[in-house]
Structure 1
């Protein structure tokens, strides 16, 4: 089953795309696990899940029990029951798991919570038979070399604008350092010709997988507090086309 990590600068629409792709795949009969690894934790609303599940990093006792405490932590804590116990099932039977945030010190975090989340991601990416959609922050902090070999593609969402494109380049560079080799950019909120954007992305070694037009239906979906896929529109159809491209390349 395909495993997709989705990243990008804040505000570019990656969570909307993550939730919509998860619902599209579920409607095609796939068993889908959507993982919210972004500190903003908005994937539930993009999926249409009304009640946010408890973030895993708030399960302090469980993490201490599984991953250790007091300065000593286990690198391979037990995690094979976490999806079943703490995932929630939303519309179209998409299962959602929310990782939560880790408080990092100035030199980064090597702690039980970090060990626990990395072990969980290794498990769901390498050992589950579900399609996995991973909604990430603009970086690769949640990933590690033991996980990345199971990721089929990293999709980097960009919008028209220099900062968004530069962020995409930095994400790709970081991801290459942990051996992610397959990338695709999604140009979101596109208006008119995108050849200039495509050229700049190519300069970072990132090919364009698809283009999503600017669509006021997505704004209206947010105003109506419903999942974008339930509103429909040109942007949703473009996301269906993107999935078809990914599927063909994965065959």
Structure 2
């Protein structure tokens, strides 16, 4: 199952991504966390000591990732012809979560007790010539070529605000958790996400964060209605962990909230046909808007009409 955490900058989405990933890992579930935020802090939130993680960032190796994933797909002539929205087809190399393939062994490292992949930072060489979403191409291609099943979790800490809608990446998830503080600014991103998500049939669930009392909770209920799944209260444990010396255990209410998140994810059935249809739709949009001109090719021809997504494709 694929889960995204989004929200306003400072809402606590990275903290929630880490808490949820750690809770899954400690339960024994196979989980992979991906840092897809322009501010790369998920490793530290997962308990890494702040040194070099040693995981080559996906964004710096996009050409190699393309070469690997296109496999023997005859519809993709070269890495230059493959863009971040190119969907898999017959001959493409499909992935199992945390497999022993070249991509996972190269790019995944443990942060605390959670396997982690990172997109990489926005550095000086990118200033004025690139947008951060170009670095997210590796994540989008990874999810498009991933064949994951129930009880397997991929948790992505996304860019802040509504920036995720700058690409088709927002359609690649089974469930998106929107982390919202009980303030007007906190719920403003929710309204943007809600409107875009409805257009594409994307399921979102709001997670209230930094709730200090009944007034905060009532405010969130009034603003987001039935989309409010649960909430977390101020956590001394999180604060001590962020200071590098966690004391005790996560509070019972917050632990219960994390369990509710997992229940919501597990109750969401995977719709392979819809996932693939979204991938194809966004690929065709990009082809028409810029990619055909950039590559000098008709990239609509990369869509394999006979490709059947999901576990059957592994055969």
**TM-score band, normalised by shorter chain:** 0.7 to 0.9
Q: For 1:38-187, what aligned pairs fall within 5 Å after superposition?
A: 38-50=37-49, 51-52=52-53, 53-59=55-61, 62=64, 72-75=80-83, 76=86, 80=95, 81-92=102-113, 94-100=114-120, 103=126, 115-124=137-146, 127-129=147-149, 130-137=152-159, 138-139=161-162, 140-141=164-165, 144=168, 148=171, 151-177=173-199, 179-187=200-208
For the 8 Å contact 1:35–1:133, the answer to whether it is kept is: yes
The normalised TM-score by structure 2 is 0.63
* CA distance 1:32–1:244, change in 2 (3 Å): closer
Distance 1:56 1:95 in 2: 14
Distance 1:224 1:49 in 2: 10
For the 8 Å contact 1:20–1:239, the answer to whether it is kept is: no
* CA distance 1:109–1:196, change in 2 (3 Å): closer
Does structure 1 residue 201 correspond to structure 2 residue 201?
A: no
For the 8 Å contact 1:35–1:135, the answer to whether it is kept is: yes
The normalised TM-score by structure 1 is 0.78
Question: Deviations 1:205-226 (Å, cap 9, x if unpaired)?
Answer: x611111011232212111266
Structure 2, unaligned runs of 5 or more: 71-75, 87-91, 96-101, 270-315
3-state SS of 2:154 partner:
strand
Structure 1, unaligned runs of 5 or more: none
The CA RMSD over aligned residues, in Å, is 3.5
Question: Deviations 1:22-53 (Å, cap 9, x if unpaired)?
Answer: 11111222110111111111111111133433
State the number of aligned residues.
237
Greater radius of gyration (CA): 2
Worse-superposed segment, 80-89 or 96-105? 96-105
3-state SS of 2:229 partner:
strand
Distance 1:104 1:114 in 2: 16
Distance 1:119 1:172 in 2: 25
Question: Deviations 1:38-84 (Å, cap 9, x if unpaired)?
Answer: 1111111111133433322123663686699xx94413486853223
